[in-house]
């Protein structure tokens, strides 16, 4: 009987080992080798890691990545929560809203890029035209600022619906009695939000923040199609950098080392956020 849980976990463990564990071991192996076409691989130790970490292109991509993920979190989470609060609790509006919110999530990521590309291109897009009318110059392929906020707007457009859906599920699970009690206890709307809504949403907010953090760190296809990582390297993020290292191909060891560093950063970051958010709700016990 003691083995029963493991029996149930066996299929999942097998699948994960095929889809994650064995590949991960392969990267670890390669990351310490130097593979040049036509030569024997030799053991390079940490040489590849050091080379990557010192590469200014890597440092630039890493910095942009942190800034991007940070901006994504501070806009999408509050916006998603606010919109979830605006959702109807029942009635025909729920189904319509859910379907409309679900659509951006089910568009292939490169199609998202295409949609925004045709939306923002200076020759065929509507957005530059609108900016032109109000007298503002806007060109995604020329100006770093324009490219940046367009990629950000695209991500908000693409992923805020997911945050709305997650928060809405959490809100639906809060029993009506909590709000009744708050009314009777003379709580203001703000205090009701602070002491009823937020504490009861802690779990789903952790999920939303983690998902958005992980996924924004992995962003690849959308900016790749929209801007190709440019202008210059203005919208080159970690995935774009890593896939270039890997597809570039002649330096497999470098590519593998980049992958490992990348993976390590994501795990570390998610773990830190996870711990912080777990303690955030618990420690708030004694304040007023």
Partner 1 sequence: MKKQYYLILFLVLLMVPIYWMLNMSFKPNSEILQQLTFYPHEFTLKNYQEILSSEFWRSGYINSISMALMNVTFVTITALPAAYAFSRWNFRGDKHLFFWFLTNRMAPPAAFMVPFFILYSNFNLIDTYWAVALAHCLFNLPLAIWILEGFMSGIPKEIDEMAFLDGHSFPSFVWNIFLPLITPGIAVTAFFTFMFSWVELLLARTLTNEAAQPITVTLTRSLGAGGWDWGVLAAAGVLAMVPGAIIVYLVRDLLATGFSMGRV
Partner 2 sequence: MAEIEVRDIRHVYDQGSPDETVAIERINLTLQDGTANALLGPSGCGKTTLLQIISGLLQPTEGHILIDGEDVTDKPPAERDIAQVFQFPVIYRSMDVYGNLAFPLRNGGVPEAEIESRVHRISELLELDDILHSSPSNLGPELNQLVALGRGIIRADTSAILFDEPMTDVEPSRKLTIRRRVKEAQQEFGITALYVTHDQHEALTFAEQVAIMKDGNLVQYDTGENLYQSPVNTFIGHFIGSPGMNLLECGLSQENGDPHAHLGPHQVPLDSALAPRLDLGWTDCHVGIRPSSVTVQVAEPHEDTGYLPATVDQVEMLGGFQIITATLDHTDVEVKARVAHDFAIDEGASVWLSFPPSDIRFFHDHEAIPA
- Write out the DSSP string of 129-188: HHHHHTT----TTT-HHHHHHHHHHHHHHHHHHHHHHHHHHHHHTS-HHHHHHHHHTT--
Q: Which does 184 bind (CB under 5 to 8 A by kind): partner 2, partner 1, none?
A: partner 2
Q: Pick between residue 214 and residue 286 the one whose CB is nearest to partner 1.
A: 214
State the Cα–Cα distance between residues 72 and 212, nearest whole angstrom: 8
User: What does the binding site for partner 2 look like in residue numbers (CB under 8 A)?
Assistant: 175, 177-178, 180-181, 183-188, 191, 195-196, 198-200, 281-282, 284-288
Stretch of residues binding partner 1 (CB under 8 A), selected from 70-78, 81-89, 177-185, 277-285:
81-89
Dihedral angle, C-alpha 91, 92, 95, 96, nearest 10 °: -140
3-state helix, strand, coil in the chain (%, to 5): 75, 0, 25
Q: How far is the CB of 286 from partner 1 (least distance, A)?
A: 27
Q: Pick between residue 184 and residue 247 the one whose CB is nearest to partner 2.
A: 184
- First-to-last C-alpha distance (Å) of the chain: 48
Strand, coil or helix: 1: coil
Q: How far is the CB of 273 from partner 2 (least distance, A)?
A: 19
Q: Which does 40 bind (CB under 5 to 8 A by kind): partner 1, partner 2, none?
A: none
Using alpha carbons, list the distances in angstroms from residue 29 to 52, 266, 272.
16, 20, 27
Asked if 134 is part of the footprint of partner 1 (rule: CB under 8 A), the reply reads no
Angle at which helices 109-120 and 144-172 pack, to 10 degrees? Answer: 130
Which phi and psi (to 5°) does residue 123 adopt?
-85, -35
Please give the distance of CA 58 from its chain centroid, rounded to a whole number.
19
Among 149, 273, 275, 277, smallest CA distance to 213 is for: 273
Query: Binding string to partner 1 for residues 136 to 175, with x set by CB under 8 A, is what?
Result: ---------------------x--xx---xx-xxx-xx--
Q: Pick between residue 18 and residue 280 the one whose CB is nearest to partner 1.
A: 18
Stretch of residues binding partner 1 (CB under 8 A), selected from 46-54, 144-152, 183-191, 212-220:
212-220
Q: Which does 178 bind (CB under 5 to 8 A by kind): partner 1, partner 2, none?
A: partner 2
Q: How far is the CB of 69 from partner 1 (least distance, A)?
A: 12
Q: Which does 204 bind (CB under 5 to 8 A by kind): partner 1, partner 2, none?
A: partner 1
Please give the distance of CA 4 from its chain centroid, rounded to a whole number.
36
Stretch of residues binding partner 1 (CB under 8 A), selected from 69-77, 140-148, 186-194, 235-243:
235-243
Stretch of residues binding partner 1 (CB under 8 A), selected from 43-51, 182-190, 240-248, 279-287:
240-248
Asked if 44 is part of the footprint of partner 1 (rule: CB under 8 A), the reply reads no
Among 223, 226, 189, 206, smallest CA distance to 281 is for: 206
Q: Pick between residue 14 and residue 284 the one whose CB is nearest to partner 2.
A: 284
């Amino acid at each position: 009987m003691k083995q029963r849980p493991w029996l149930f976990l066996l299929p999942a463990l097998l699948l994960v080992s095929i889809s994650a564990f064995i590949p991960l071991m392969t990267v670890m192996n390669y990351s310490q080798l130097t593979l040049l076409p036509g030569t024997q691989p030799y053991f390079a130790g940490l040489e590849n890691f050091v080379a990557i970490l010192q590469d200014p292109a890597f440092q630039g991509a890493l910095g942009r990545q942190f800034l991007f993920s940070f901006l994504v979190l501070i806009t999408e989470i509050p916006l998603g929560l606010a919109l979830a609060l605006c959702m109807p609790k029942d009635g025909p509006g729920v189904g319509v809203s859910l379907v409309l919110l679900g659509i951006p999530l089910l568009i292939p990521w490169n199609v998202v890029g295409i949609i925004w590309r045709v939306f923002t291109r200076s020759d065929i897009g509507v957005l530059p035209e609108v900016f032109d009318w109000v007298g503002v110059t806007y060109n995604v392929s020329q100006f770093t600022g324009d490219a940046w906020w367009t990629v950000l707007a695209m991500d908000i457009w693409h992923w805020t619906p997911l945050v709305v859906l997650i928060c809405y599920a959490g809100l639906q699970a809060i029993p009506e009695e909590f709000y009744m009690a708050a009314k009777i206890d003379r709580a203001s709307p703000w205090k009701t939000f602070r002491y009823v809504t937020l504490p009861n949403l802690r779990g789903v907010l952790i999920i939303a923040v983690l998902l958005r953090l992980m996924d924004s760190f992995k962003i690849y296809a959308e900016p790749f199609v929209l801007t190709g990582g440019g202008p210059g390297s203005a919208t080159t993020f970690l995935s774009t950098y890593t896939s270039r290292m890997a597809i570039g191909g002649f330096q497999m060891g470098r590519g593998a080392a980049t992958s490992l560093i990348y993976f390590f950063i994501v795990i570390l970051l998610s773990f830190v956020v996870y711990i912080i958010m777990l303690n955030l709700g618990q420690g708030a016990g004694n304040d007023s």
